[in-house]
Structures are given as C-alpha cells and as structure tokens.
Amino acid sequence: MISTKRRTVLKAILASGPLLAMRPALADTRPIVVMTSYPDTVISLFQSAFEHHYPQYHLQILWRMPFDALPYLQQPKQSGVDVYWSASPRNFAKLAQQGALRKLDIDLAGLPPEIGHTRLTDPGGYYTATEMAGYGFAVNPAVLQRLGVPAPADWTDLTDPRLENMIALPDPVRVGFAPVMVDIVLQAYGWDKGWALWSEIVGNSVLLGRGSTFVTDELAEGRRAIGPTIDFFAVSAIVNGAPLRFVYPARSGINPAQVAITASAPNPDGARAFVEFLVSDAGQRILTHPDIRKLPVRPSVYAQLPVDYFNPFAAADKGGFNYNEQIGLPRMALVTAIFGQMLSYDQPALAGLWHRTHQAEKAGKPVAEIRKLLCTPPITEQQAGDDKMLNAVKHSSEGAQPGAPTAIEIGWKHNSDSSRQQADALLRKIGA
C-alpha cells in the first residue's frame, strides 16, 4: 500500500498527459521478478505507475542488498530473476563479464552515455543508469555556527582543526557507497595529496560502520557537524524534519544506479518493458517526488523542475563531476584495503596524533616530518596500477563484511604502525 500523500502525487503524474504509449495486452501475464535494494518508498511509486501503464504485467519484488545480490544471481537459472536494479557498479560490471546479462535492446534516445567522466550507459549495451546519486556533505548549520566554522565548500575544508571529532565518516571498509568517495578525492587532488587529505580528515572524524547509526542521525542529534555522504540520504532526512543542509563540493562524483535484464530472464519481454519505463520521461519524473529526490539521468526532465533542484548535468559542464569510474573501479578494492590498513585501523590513535600535531602547529613548532609520516600511503600510484598488486588484494562484494587481510595488507599495517610510532617520538621530542 502507498500513502495518501504519495498516491496524490502519483495521480498527478499519471493524469498529466500521455506519458507512455499503452502497449496492447499480451498473452504472457507472468510476473516480472525485479531484484532491487531500493526501499518500499521508491518501489511502491514505480510499481503503481508501471502497472498503470502496463496492466498486462505485474511486478514481483525481491529485496537483496548488493553484497547478497551477486551470489543470488549466480545460482542456477539466476534464481528466476528477470531484472536487476540497484546502485552497485561493481556488481553490474562483474555480471556483464560473466555473461549473466542479456543486451537491453531498448531505445536510449535522449539519454547521455556519460556525465563528466562517469559512464551512464554500458558500452556493450548490457545495462544502463536509471538515476544518479551525488557525493557531498550533509551539514548541521547550528553546530557549525557554534564551532565558528563555515559550511565546507570542498574536501580540504574538512581538515580544519576546529572540526576535531565533529565529522561523521562512513568507513569505506564497511559501507558500500563509501569507497567511491575515497577515490573521488584521490583523483581530484592526486594520489599523494589525496591520501594526505584523507589522513587528516580521518583524524577529525568518527568512523561509522554498517549497522551503526546513520551519518544523518549523528548530525541531526547534534553530535557531529559534517557528514560526507550521498545526497539522497541527506535529502531523505531533511524531508523528514532533520535540521540539516546538503552541500555539493566543488570536486565531486556520481554514483549511478543501473538496471539490467538477466541472461536467464523467464519474462524477457516484461523485463524490457519495465526497463523502458524506468528511463522514460514518466519514470524519470517519479524520481523527483519529494519522498525520493533522486537525480534523473534524462536531462530534459530538469527543465520541468524548480530552479533550486540540483542539476548534475549543469554542474558537470562546469567541471564539478570529473571523477572517472573507469580509473576508479579496477582499483576500488585496492583503495579500500589501503584505507583500512592506513586509516581505519586504530583510528582513535590516529586522531590523537593529529590532535597533537595541530596543537604543535598552532604553537609554531616544526611538524613537516610528522605530517609526512602520517600522510604518506604505503604504496605509490604507479604501484597501485600494477596488475599483480591489483590481483593480490581481493575484496568481496560491495557492503560485505571485510575478510581476513592479505599478506600485503598486513605489511601495510606494519608500515602504518612504524610511521605512527615515529610520529609519536617526534611529537614528544618537540614537547607535544
């Protein structure tokens, strides 16, 4: 069942004109089995609208998070799933490589193949984006005012010592959407400066894992001031009354949600009809519902929206979304592993070292060598691009609990231990 509020908006969408040509009823009335990680708030609106336009079909929803979806789709006959619809770039890439998807074979006119340097449509034609999520900062203006800190405009602003212990940061090792966020900074600022930024940001942060409180909860309850996150998490909290704002930084990235038809789809015609609906004008407009507030991938939809509705295509034209997922995806597991051993490991101790470093810096004491020890990653960017290195660090599906560290990762941990011990010794030497 959908709420009265959502039903009213849905009726307005459906009554606004001939959004899609009605298909003739087909003899095949089997359900369309859709595997997704979207919540009922999203699914119920799409289900009602789709079944209105295609009364010969009905949707059967199967909820699976990304880390559960891949093994489920690798079962015999792909467990009877017709459509996979989720924000899980790595899963879609793996499924396409394994021959587990069939070509969409739908009209993609009006849908850009990319935004900035992020692809929206698979070059092979096996999947396409249905919406986008932008990375940025949820902020609590009242807490920032109390701290005397302006709202952040970019990632470098998160290193302000006044933000010590006031950043709620999703741990990339444990939270599925966060690894892309790490690589956005690495690509925007370069490998060495990017890791230096992350070390100092983590020093100001409290790390949140899967199953812990949400970033927006930490902010709304006044415990933290800033939380790097995805826009729709913040927007959802704001719609529900949280006293927050969301800020897109000058350098950001897009995490697209995609849709595909399985190679073993029992109902391929129904699956194709559902995919066509998702990327149609009608389907894209549902994304802008106040309870959803996602970013459509069809540029023409933005002309129908209020002027204050964020337009990622306009931001991309100004260079705001230059993150390249073709660089990021192959090294995502490696970047996540480095973050875990260099920064997540014993984060309170790292935060303590940064506190002392900031205090020493404020007192005019020399800290260049200390900063170098805290900021230098365990491998160079050239090493990170080596195929042997990439293959040596394995990581399971997005959002899954991390497995046992590899020998290389254990070596990185020892390197971090040594660097922290040296930093501690130098801080003691200068009286910090």
User: Mind giving me the DSSP string for 266-284?
Assistant: S-HHHHHHHHHHHHSHHHH
The answer to pTM > 0.85 is no
Bigger pLDDT: 405 vs 73:
73
pLDDT at 383: 94
Query: Is it the case that residue 259 has pLDDT exceeding 70?
Result: yes
CA distance linking residue 8 with residue 5, whole number of Å: 5
CA distance linking residue 344 with residue 51, whole number of Å: 46
Distance set, CA 390 to CA 97, 187, 326, 395 (Å): 17, 17, 14, 10
Contacts of 408 (CB under 8 A, 6+ apart): 389, 392, 393
Average per-residue pLDDT for the chain:
89
Tokens encoding 50: 């789709």
Contacts of 307 (CB under 8 A, 6+ apart): none
Ordered by where they begin, the domains of the chain are: 4-132+255-317 (3.40.190.10)
**Model confidence band, residue 254 (pLDDT cutoffs 50, 70, 90):** confident
Burial grade of 34 (CB within 10 A; 0-12, 13-18, 19 or more): buried
Q: Which of 127-131, 208-212, 320-324, 332-336 has the lowest average pLDDT?
A: 208-212
Residue 245 CB coordination number (10 Å): 15
Tokens encoding 227: 């939380």
Give the residue among 297, 289, 230, 231 at the shortest CA–CA distance from 259.
297
pLDDT at 66: 86
- Tens of pLDDT, residue by residue over 347-388, are 999 999 999 999 999 999 999 999 999 999 999 999 999 988
Percent of the chain's residues with pLDDT above 90: 71
- Tens of pLDDT, residue by residue over 171-219, are 999 888 899 999 999 999 999 999 999 999 999 999 998 765 689 999 9
Bigger pLDDT: 77 vs 318:
77
pLDDT at 394: 63
**Model confidence band, residue 403 (pLDDT cutoffs 50, 70, 90):** low
CA distance linking residue 424 with residue 350, whole number of Å: 10
- Dihedral sign for Cα 365, 370, 374, 380, please: positive
Average pLDDT over residues 235-251: 91
